[in-house]
Chains A and B, each alone.
Chain A
Amino acid sequence: DGGITQSPKYLFRKEGQNVTLSCEQNLNHDAMYWYRQDPGQGLRLIYYSQIVNDFQKGDIAEGYSVSREKKESFPLTVTSAQKNPTAFYLCASSIIGMDEQFFGPGTRLTVL
Chain B
Amino acid sequence: RKEVEQDPGPFNVPEGATVAFNCTYSNSASQSFFWYRQDCRKEPKLLMSVYSSGNEDGRFTAQLNRASQYISLLIRDSKLSDSATYLCVVNSPNQAGTALIFGKGTTLSVSS
Contact = CB atoms under 8 A, between A and B. Distances in A.
A50 interface: yes
Contacts of B46: 100-102
Interface size class of A (residues with CB under 8 A): 20 to 34
B40 to A, nearest CB: 11
Interface string A82-112: 0000001010001011111111111010000
Interface of A: 31, 35, 40-43, 45, 48, 50, 56, 58, 88, 90, 94, 96-106, 108
20 contacts: A42-B4, A43-B87, A45-B100, A48-B99, A50-B97, A56-B97, A58-B99, A88-B41, A90-B44, A96-B98, A99-B32, A99-B98, A99-B100, A100-B49, A101-B100, A102-B46, A103-B44, A105-B43, A106-B42, A108-B41
